[in-house]
Amino acid sequence: MKKVIVFLMMMVMIVATFSGCGKKEEAVEGKYLRIAQEVDLPSMDQHVATDGLSFEVIAATIEGLYSVDKDGTFIPAIAKSYEVSEDQLTYTFTLRDDVKWSNGDAVTAADFVFSWRRLLSPEQASEYNFIGGVAGILNADKVVAGEVPGEELGVVAQDDTTLVVTLDRPVPYFLSLTAFSTFFPLNEKFVTEKGADYASSPENLLANGPYKMATWDKGYGFRLDKNPDYYDATNVTIAGLDYRVMKDNQTATLEYDSGNQDVVKLAAELVDKYKDNEEYTQIESGYLWYITPNNQTEVFSNVNVRKAFQHAINKQQIVDKILNDGSNVANFIIPIGLATGPDGKDFRESAGTYSEYDVALAQEYWTAAKAELGDTIEIEFLFDDDGTVKKTAEFIQAELETNLPGIKVSLKAQPKKNRLDLMTAGDYEVGITRWGPDYADPLTYLELYLTGATLNYPNYENAAYDVLVDDSGKGKLAGDAQGRWDAMIEAERIFLEDDAGITPLFQSGYAFLINPKVTGIESHAVGVPFIYKNVKIAD
Amino acid sequence: MLRYIGKRLLISIVTMFVILSLLFLLLEFMPGSPFNDEKLNEQQKELLYEKYGLNKPIHERFFIYTTNILKGDFGVSYTIEKNAPVSRMLETRMPISIRLGLQALVFGSLIGVVLASIAAVYKNSKWDTMTTIFAVIGISIPSYVFALGLSYFLGYKLTLAGYPIFPMTYNLYRPIQSSILPTVALSMFVIATVARFMRTELVEVLGSDYIMLAEAKGLTAKKVIFRHSIRNALIPVVTVLGPLTVGLMTGSLVIERIFGIPGIGDLLVTAISVNDFNVVIAISFFYSLFYIIMALFIDVIYGVIDPRIRVDKGGE
């Protein structure tokens, strides 16, 4: 008995020892915006990060050349202004001279040069290094491949406040990329000194933006305090951002209800309960989910089959019954909120809608298709082996078999990696995929379907489409804002209406609960998902 | 005794090696990739695989993997905390999980023993029936159900002047108060298991000849129960410590998620879902190691509690 007691007491003592791990919290005076987050913060290193949360927190602490306002317009940040050469190939940025890193160093043009070279260096092997080529920076892809040294990258610091960027082709959306976290500056001295430890904890980070990281308890949460040295600090009115990792959605929502959190993402099953409340907020993300038919197969090379597909599926049901998470039906490929045209309007306001649900129309096309292909048509439907996608696929199967008599749909679930491999190789008939934008321009979608493009899963080929897209990208329309805009609207129409290249399903979104006292959270479908600089919290 | 422990130790090491190899193979065949596959081209993928040494042949990687683990190097995380050494990730999370597990084990065992004693002494009374019902419920209902119930009724509903008495979520800065609910939720299984085993054993012990003798000698009921019965009845309880530890570990996977506890259970669940292979391997390694050490420990403590076993082994 005595030994058992000793054993138990030993246990109690161990427990007591570990309990001593509790830490003290020191916060700044004032109100914090409390954000419940489903995932840990993967990285504070902008050249390691690949996810929205990391990009958003990095953007809260570091500013780039340009930033983006709540309407999606690009506004000067560290750059005061810029000039573009006539051939659209040289951008000269003039930087502010009053921006400081949190260690006191000035932010200079050299910080951008260092950062961009680091992003593309083969040693860094950043998962986002493809973006250098997307931005069209001279020699970007060659630097990544190790063919030329970083010094030959098309970015030069002429002096402390002048940054000159040379592109290899006109890139109409180049400015939008300067507002994206990967292109933010880095202090070379600090980053080199910290080495592998850079960005691993608040002590190993520098800020030049509205907030700076104060605590980071891995897996638990992190806190950003207002940065008093920020050049625009007077316009930052809250004490900071307090992130707490809560992987269980129910718990997070209960904490919101108890007044312990200000921002919480809702799970699909809770949406109905809160849908009518004031604090319920839907936020669009840039992801477009769509059915991609392989236009090279016998069945789907038939345009009537593809058109029948476009109209045969009740997407509203998918959005309301299966997802119920703030996603919206998509009858287009360029998502809402992705890009603003020269007229200041969203692309979607100027472009049309296509592929609406219409069973009668679908059956008309289907009858025409059957006249050409025969009475029974069997297809194999490929999709990711994942809960929601699977449900969506099953629903589509049912819709097709009900609305298109004579079709037989067999389902083929694959792990995502395999699914991507099959689609890239063109070794499939039809399936579900998605695409998230890399930059705020319709081209990020339209270029996917150029003849022979790697990610052209539908294997779409149309010379007229190619011309329109090429012209508005690097071609003759690159310098003509309105002309290229019209061309892109027309390209989308050809792709969806004339050729039914794909069947769009929905634009994914998120349902949030946001404390009504909080205003000024700016969300964006592309680039940095949330910007918190202008947040205000009422009493 | 020493030879016995040595033999057990050897078996443990071999088991560990087998587990490691199986883990490696399983993850090798797991579909998916930790990288941003959709956007990367072949060349960029190659760069990444090169960086993390994933493009070497499988036998070479297995060799690197085992030698690194022996050196305490579990590699870096691919997704959860990109490029952070896994050992550093575990450093902060492991103590939290261990503490929670121990709290549940200690609390659960104590309550379990008390319940069992009451049930056995008042055999066939309503107390006995209640304990049995409790034990059945505790074993058959998974701990996350308790967790959800506790967090809703005690954490969310029960407030004192507007303030919650038991916080719904873990607070790193107030670890004692905020770990009450998760500890209770996690210990249900322990209470039930201990109570069930202990009661059966106690009933048997209480009916045995030597207890009758003790009573006949005129010892007080207190002495009979505490000195003679509980100690003997504890032996089977020690044998269930192994399964209990496993129960605690699997329980913690969900409990940590529900209460927002930054421990390794929660980390493992996340790591599996995002293909963070190195993290999965490291945590599984520690879980296995812990279980094997526990098994070894039980074998040894068995001898301590029951002198007959000690004598037997000592006589070898």
Chain B residues in contact with A122 by the CB 8 A cut-off are: 47
Domain count, chain A: 2
The verdict on a CB contact (< 8 Å) between B80 and A438 is no
Are residues A529 and A463 both part of a single domain?
no
Is A452 part of a structural domain of the chain?
yes
Answer yes or no: do A524 and A387 share one domain. no
Instruction: State how far the Cα of B145 lies from the Cα of A514, in Å rounded to an integer.
Output: 28
pLDDT at residue A489 is higher than 90 = yes
Regarding whether A532 and A473 lie in a shared domain, the answer is no
Chain B closest-CA separation from residue A366 CA (Å): 33
Q: Is residue B312 over pLDDT 60?
A: no
Per DSSP, A181 falls in state G
How many other C-beta atoms can be found within 10 angstroms of the C-beta atom of residue B181? 23
Alpha carbon distance B112, B131 (integer Å): 9
The verdict on residue A150 lying in a domain is: yes
pLDDT, tens digit, for every residue of B77-108? 988 998 899 999 999 899 999 899 999 999 99
| Nearest-CB residue to A130 (from B41, B270, B305) | B41
A257 found inside a domain: no
- Per-residue model confidence (pLDDT) at position A120: 94
CATH class of domain segment(s) B86-312: mainly alpha
Q: Which of B81, B82, B168 sits opposite A218 (nearest CB)?
A: B81
User: Do A343 and A476 belong together in one domain?
Assistant: yes
Model pLDDT, residue A3: 57
The domain locations on chain B are 86-312
Tell me if residue A435 falls in helix, strand or coil. Answer: strand
For chain B, what is the mean pLDDT?
83
Confidence of residue B307 (pLDDT cuts 50, 70, 90): low
- Digit-coded pLDDT (tens) for A57-97: 999 999 999 999 988 889 999 999 999 999 889 999 999 99
Q: Give the span between the Cα atoms of B237 and B110, in whole angstroms.
A: 12
Task: Give me the domain span that covers residue A132.
Answer: 32-232+515-537
Which range scores top for mean pLDDT: A35-49, A474-488, B282-296?
A35-49
B68 touches chain A (CB under 8 A): no
The interface predicted TM-score of the complex, written ipTM, equals 0.83
Q: How far is CA A428 from CA A292, A366, A418, B125, in A?
A: 10, 21, 11, 69
Residues A410, A300, single domain; the answer is yes
What pLDDT shows up at residue A21? 45
* Cβ contact B270–A40 (<8 Å): yes
Residue B233 pLDDT exceeds 50? yes
CATH of the domain at A99: 3.90.76.10
Reported as a single tens digit per residue, the pLDDT across B149-161 is 888 888 888 877 7
Question: Looking at per-residue confidence, does A537 or A5 come out higher?
Answer: A537
- pLDDT greater at residue A532 or residue B147: A532
At B36 the pLDDT is 58
Interchain CB distance below 8 Å, B31 and A418: yes
Q: Which band of pLDDT confidence, cut at 50, 70 and 90, is reported for residue A107?
A: very high
A366 dihedral zone (left: phi>0; alpha: psi -120 to 50; beta): alpha
Is B172–A220 a contact, with Cβ atoms under 8 angstroms apart?
Answer: yes
Same domain, A439 and A338: yes
Summary mean pLDDT of chain A? 91
How many pairs of residues across A and B have Cβ atoms under 8 Å apart?
161
Q: Is residue A220 located within the same domain as residue A291?
A: no
Please give the pLDDT value at position A15.
Answer: 54
Residue range A399-418, pLDDT digits in tens? 999 999 999 999 999 888 78
Q: Would residue A22 count as lying in a domain?
A: no
CB pair distance less than 8 Å for B260 and A248: yes
Q: Is the pLDDT of residue A19 over 70?
A: no
Q: Does B95 touch chain A (CB under 8 A)?
A: yes
Q: Which residues contact A286 (CB under 8 A, 6 or more apart)?
A: A335, A337, A338, A436, A437, A507, A525, A526
Residues A202, A87 share a domain: yes
Task: Say yes or no: A533 and A428 in one domain.
Answer: no
- How confident is the model at residue B314, as a pLDDT? 44
| Best residue in B78, B172, B297 for a mutation probing chain A (most A CBs within 10 Å) | B172
* Cβ-nearest to B102 among A3, A14, A43: A14
pTM: 0.86
Q: What is the pLDDT of residue A446?
A: 95
Residue holding tokens 């949190």? A102
Residue A354 lies in a domain: yes
**Whether A485 and A383 share a structural domain:** yes
Residue B289, min C-alpha distance to chain A (Å): 19
In a domain, A18, yes or no: no
Q: Over the stretch B27-40, which tens digit does the pLDDT of each residue have?
A: 777 766 667 566 77
A70 lies in the same domain as A153: yes
Task: State whether A495 and A520 are in the same domain.
Answer: no
What confidence score (pLDDT) does residue A225 get?
96
Angle CA(A7)–CA(A8)–CA(A14) in degrees, nearest 5?
90
pLDDT at residue B178 above 60? yes
Q: What number of helices (H) and strands (E) belong to chain A?
A: 18, 21
Cβ count near B300 (within 10 Å): 15
Provide, as residue numbers in chain B, all residues whose Cβ is less than 8 Å from the Cβ of A245. Answer: 260, 262
SS (H, E, C) A508-531: EEEEEEECCCEECCEECCCCCCEE
Q: Do A127 and B40 touch (CB under 8 A)?
A: yes
Confidence of residue A20 (pLDDT cuts 50, 70, 90): very low
Give SS3 for B240. coil
Pick from B84, B234, B259: which is nearest to A200 by CB? B84
Q: Determine the 3-state secondary structure of B269 from DSSP.
A: helix
Q: CATH number of the domain that A384 lies in?
A: 3.10.105.10
Predicted local confidence at residue B306, as pLDDT: 66
Q: Is the pLDDT of residue A22 over 60?
A: no
